[in-house]
Amino acid sequence: MKKWLFGLVAMVLMLSIVLTGCSSSSNGEQGKKSNSNGNGGNVLIFGRGADATSLDPAIVTDGESFAVTKNIYDTLVEYKGQTTDIEPALAESWDISPDGKTYTFHLRKGVKFHDGTDFNADAVVFNFDRWKNANDENKFAYYPSMFGGFGDKSVIADVKALDDYTVQFTLRTPLAPFLKDLAMSPFAIASPTAIKKYGDKYGQAAAVGTGPFKFKEWKSKDTITLVKNDDYWKKGEPQLDGVIFKVIPDNTARLNALKNGEIDLMDGVNPSDLKDIQGNKDLQIFYRPPMNVGYLGMTVTKKPFDNPLVRQAVNYAVDKKAIIDAFFAGAADPAKNPMPPSISGYNDDVQPYDYNPEKAKELLKKAGFPNGFKTELWAMPNPRPYMPEPSKIAVAIAHNLKDIGIDAEIKTFEWTTYLDKVKKGEAPMYMLGWTGDNGDADNFLYTLLSTDAIGSNNNSFYSNPELDKLLKEAQTLTDENKRNELYKQAQVIIHNDAPWVPLVHSKPALVGKSTIKGFAPHPTGSDRYVGVYFEK
Amino acid sequence: MLAYSIRRLIALIPVLIGMSLIVFGIIRAIPGDPALAILGQKATPEALKQLRHALGLDKPWYTQYFSFITDLLKGDFGTSLRTHAAIRQEIWPHLAATIELSVLAMLIAVVVGVNLGILSAWKQNSVIDVASMVIALVGVSMPVFWLGLMAQWIFSIKLGWLPSIGRENIRDPVTAITNFYIIDTLLAGRIDQFWEIIRHLILPSLALATIPMAIIARMTRSSMLEVLRSDYIRTARAKGQKMFWVVYKHALKNAFIPVLTVIGLQTGLLLGGAILTETIFGWPGIGSYIYDAIQYRDYPVIQSGILLVAFIFVIINLIIDLLYAAFDPRIKYK
């Protein structure tokens, strides 16, 4: 016993020496070290709220995974700058047959995967065959959702190598957004050798592409380390020696780490912190161009929302500007269409329903509800990219509705329960949103409001045959101008039928050190650190 | 003693079975479809159906439970639904991160807490007593969340003494061998990295230590007060023993038994309850691992994770029970 006690006392002494020793020696000197990037020099550390699930982009659906894979892999074509227009990447050029069913890609020569194997037509064919023949929708989720299914159900009938550097895709029917689909992260080209070598472990133990950075290490729920690919095909890129993704779940703690110089760039900023950041000369704010919509949906199969006049009245009742000022700290644009302006085919001529409670009351009276009615307003339980504080926004909307006589009781459920019930059409009015996948109008209008989408993403159960016809036709055209014309008409129909109140297109903020140059966040939410550097 | 230990270990089996049933039951009682949670808002109905089948969610609960238990007995923790990786491999680095943090936190809590308690009992009603009990009271009632953020703000941002997040200097990462970074850096012979690891441990372990420290201090004080009033202490004093030795040698031995119980319970709680601290300090521990899994309804991870933590909890308490005998010879296990 005596020995035990002696040990304890000794431990106290040792511990206190250790504690005082290291805190005094580190005083100042260490703090500076971390600010000056220490020995990691030219490496960018990105702080974020959650970890990736896998680094095989073909099998994931979450943004945190794509944020990493976007830097490891290339796609055949890629999005240009901050738009969703298409430019060459692994394919230098392509030809489209007049019927829109055959795409011939001419591939870039001399490109190598990070494992040293050659990128060529066979690699492209291998990747597409892997997805197409997977027949496992749990694992390969994006392929069937963008191309209509696996195997014989897929729009892609055949992918074949004409020679080492030419690949031909044959489609069953013309697919207008085909090129935009190919630019999506899930359709990045991975090394066939690595996929065969690692089997089920691919994406965890290894991730091999042709991209600007190579995968080095993954510490689960902690860091993912990428290092510069010296042989990257874009000359002079990347300028950074590496990128590290660090998980820090709490928004405030993440900002603390940024201010302390432990990370260089972060997403998930509390809107309330933006003001403080604006006054900090060591930091800068980047706004991601919106590719989303946050909306208030009305289930048109439920009374009284089966009446378009009631739905229009609700549209006139909501004060979007007040909501944006109060809850988005200005980091959002008011929405008037179900898709954001960054997407081609956006109809800017649609006249928004202004905030006009008098007009709303009039419409309600016309619809046969001079004294309003009682209903439920469902609010999401947790923040989403397109809506930072759903419960507070719900209170604001309920208040707006009260002004015109609609008594809406706010209800909320745990997130998966919420989605489940909303999908089943149990909510009279509900808040939800959508973030675009490929930057195409089809991915908003058809996916969210066509009759085919009832049961998956058309939670308002809205159905208009005229709209369906336009949307289906637009899917088959390859002429961009003609397509855009159809989408513009579609937006007018939706505007008049008013199944939603389109609320906002949020522009999520990122914060970084003021020395970061050349960073332009992309609307898709996954960024490439090409052209990015630290100012000396 | 040995026979007793073995008997206690055997008695753990029904406890663990009961625990596994509770864990299994509670998870399934949480509303929300795991298939939907995994595939997200954009899932198609066919994909949901396929996944439910693949997860065995369309089978009756007892079939699911039985296959879970048989796999577990084979040492197979299952596969994460979300990352498709084996849980047995995935879970260890997280557990190690939490153990490293909790051991240091508990060390601080015990050393500081016990001494604070002794001091205030010894100098009852003095300034020291009042001061340390106020500290203890504040410690118990302080929200860890707030404490952590404040500590970051003061010691990292304002003073620049310590790093605010993570286990290591991200720009100079540790090569994981055992996943206890203190050990790994020493094995690699990297003294500079070793100091970095210690520096990263200070803020989170202090934040984590606050509550148990306060509880231990209060427990030690009350237990010590009682012992100090007993006859044998008066005898020891009458013999002319120095008060310091009376307190640390004679009194502490007897006063420590109830404190030991509290220490055992608190250690167990730390393991699972470090989640808030882990969230704030970006610490990749078992708490955040399980919490993430709950958000995604990753059943196998939740089940295995909670059971593992529960198992450790039970083992710690067994060790504490055995320690009683070491402290108090009157306690004999047969």
E-strand ranges in chain B read: none
Q: d(Cα A475, Cα A473) in Å, to the nearest integer?
A: 5
Contact assignment for A262 to B165 by CB distance below 8 Å? yes
Q: d(Cα B132, Cα B217) in Å, to the nearest integer?
A: 8
Query: What tokens appear for A112 in the block?
Result: 């190598």
Q: How confident is the model at residue A457 (pLDDT cuts 50, 70, 90)?
A: confident
Q: In what order do the strands lie in the sheet with A509-513?
A: A213-219, A223-228, A242-247, A43-48, A265-266, A509-513, A283-287
B18 CB near a chain A CB, below 8 Å? no
Contact assignment for A416 to B31 by CB distance below 8 Å? yes
Kindly tell me if the per-residue pLDDT of A38 is higher than 90.
no
Place of tokens 């229009």: A312
Looking at residue A41, what is its pLDDT? 72
Q: What is the DSSP string of B134-167?
A: HHHHHHHHS-HHHHHHHHIIIIIIIS--S--SSS
Mean pLDDT for chain A? Answer: 88
* A492 exposure class (CB count in 10 Å sphere: 0-12, 13-18, 19+): middle
* Closest residue by Cα to residue B154 from A513, A248, A23: A23
Contact assignment for A34 to B169 by CB distance below 8 Å? yes
Kindly tell me if the per-residue pLDDT of A12 is higher than 50.
no
| Residues of A whose CB is below 8 A from B164 | 253, 256-257, 260, 262
Place of tokens 């730390």: B270
Q: Residues 6 or more apart from A271 whose CB is under 8 A from it? A: A327, A328, A329, A331, A388, A509
Quick: pLDDT tens for A402-433: 999 999 999 998 777 888 889 889 999 999 99
**How many residue pairs from chains A and B have C-beta atoms closer than 8 A?**
203
Query: What tokens appear for A288 in the block?
Result: 């991601």
| Residues of B whose CB is below 8 A from A219 | 93, 173, 176, 284
Looking at residue A389, what is its pLDDT? 83
Mutation site for B-interface testing, chosen from A260, A277, A426, A443 by largest number of B Cβ within 10 Å: A260
Half-sphere exposure of A411 (CA within 13 A, CB side): 17
Give me the phi and psi of A167, to 5 degrees please. -125, 135
Mutation site for B-interface testing, chosen from A8, A30, A416, A435 by largest number of B Cβ within 10 Å: A416
Query: What tokens appear for A479 in the block?
Result: 């002429």
Mutation site for A-interface testing, chosen from B103, B157, B164, B257 by largest number of A Cβ within 10 Å: B164
What's A288's DSSP letter? P
**Which pTM value belongs to this model?**
0.81
Contact assignment for A204 to B83 by CB distance below 8 Å? yes
Give me the phi and psi of B328, to 5 degrees please. -125, 105
Q: d(Cα A30, Cα A34) in Å, to the nearest integer?
A: 6
Cβ atoms within 10 Å, residue A487: 24
Share of chain A above pLDDT 90, in %: 65
Selecting from A1, A417, A456 the residue whose C-beta is nearest the C-beta of B44 gives A456
Q: Check: CB of residue A44 under 8 Å from CB of residue A532.
A: yes
Q: What is the mean pLDDT of residues A226-235?
A: 94
Q: Higher confidence at residue A29 or residue A455?
A: A455
Give me the residues paired with residue A43 across strands.
A242
> Would you say how long chain A is, in residues?
536
Q: Check: CB of residue A150 under 8 Å from CB of residue A157.
A: no
B282: nearest CA partner in chain A:
A248
Shortest Cα–Cα distance, A90 to chain B (Å):
28
Contact assignment for B93 to A220 by CB distance below 8 Å? yes
Instruction: Locate CATH 1.10.3720.10 in chain B.
Output: 87-327
- Chain-centroid distance of CA A144 in Å reads 19
| Residues of B whose CB is below 8 A from A256 | 149, 152-153, 156-157, 164-165
Q: Higher confidence at residue A457 or residue A209?
A: A209
Looking at residue A111, what is its pLDDT? 95
* A377 exposure class (CB count in 10 Å sphere: 0-12, 13-18, 19+): buried
Looking at residue A282, what is its pLDDT? 94
Mutation site for A-interface testing, chosen from B165, B172, B246 by largest number of A Cβ within 10 Å: B165
B220 CB near a chain A CB, below 8 Å? no
- Amino acid at the residue B245: W
Give me the residues paired with residue B192 across strands.
none
| Residues of B whose CB is below 8 A from A145 | 42, 44
Q: d(Cα A404, Cα A409) in Å, to the nearest integer?
A: 15
Looking at residue A369, what is its pLDDT? 93
Whole-angstrom distance between the N-terminal and C-terminal Cα of chain B? Answer: 6
Mutation site for B-interface testing, chosen from A219, A255, A456 by largest number of B Cβ within 10 Å: A219
Answer yes or no: CATH 1.10.3720.10 is held by domain B87-327: yes
Determine the angle formed by the axes of helices B252-273 and B191-228, rounding to 10 degrees. 130
Q: d(Cα A121, Cα A463) in Å, to the nearest integer?
A: 43
Quick: pLDDT tens for B264-300: 888 888 876 678 888 889 899 888 888 888 877 788 8
Selecting from A51, A53, A253 the residue whose C-beta is nearest the C-beta of B165 gives A253
Least confidently predicted of A5-14, A171-180, A363-372: A5-14
Give me the phi and psi of A80, to 5 degrees please. -90, 125
Kindly tell me if the per-residue pLDDT of A342 is higher than 60.
yes
Kindly tell me if the per-residue pLDDT of A222 is higher than 70.
yes
* Closest residue by Cα to residue A400 from A497, A317, A492: A317
Looking at residue A74, what is its pLDDT? 96
Selecting from B93, B108, B171 the residue whose C-beta is nearest the C-beta of A219 gives B93
Give me the phi and psi of B124, to 5 degrees please. -55, 140
| Residues of B whose CB is below 8 A from A8 | 111
pLDDT in tens, chain B (334 residues): 778 788 888 888 888 888 888 888 887 777 667 777 777 666 777 777 877 887 777 888 888 888 888 888 888 888 887 777 888 888 889 999 999 999 999 999 999 999 999 988 888 888 888 888 888 888 888 888 888 888 888 998 888 899 988 888 888 888 888 889 988 888 888 888 899 899 999 999 999 998 899 999 999 999 989 888 888 888 888 888 888 888 888 888 888 888 888 888 888 888 766 788 888 898 998 888 888 888 777 888 888 888 888 888 888 888 888 888 777 777 766 5
Share of chain A above pLDDT 70, in %: 92
| Residues of A whose CB is below 8 A from B152 | 253, 256-257, 260
Residues 236-295 of chain B with CB under 8 A from chain A are: 248-249, 252-253, 278-282, 284, 288-289, 292
Q: d(Cα A92, Cα A106) in Å, to the nearest integer?
A: 6
Selecting from A141, A200, A417 the residue whose C-beta is nearest the C-beta of B39 gives A141
Contact assignment for A51 to B292 by CB distance below 8 Å? yes
Instruction: Provide the greatest CA pair distance for chain A.
Output: 92
Quick: pLDDT tens for A45-75: 999 988 888 999 998 878 889 999 999 999 9
Kindly tell me if the per-residue pLDDT of A34 is higher than 70.
no
Q: What is the DSSP string of B113-130?
A: HHHHHHHHHHTTTSHHHH
Dihedral over alpha carbons A353, A354, A356, A362 (to 10 degrees)? -20
Q: How confident is the model at residue A450 (pLDDT cuts 50, 70, 90)?
A: very high
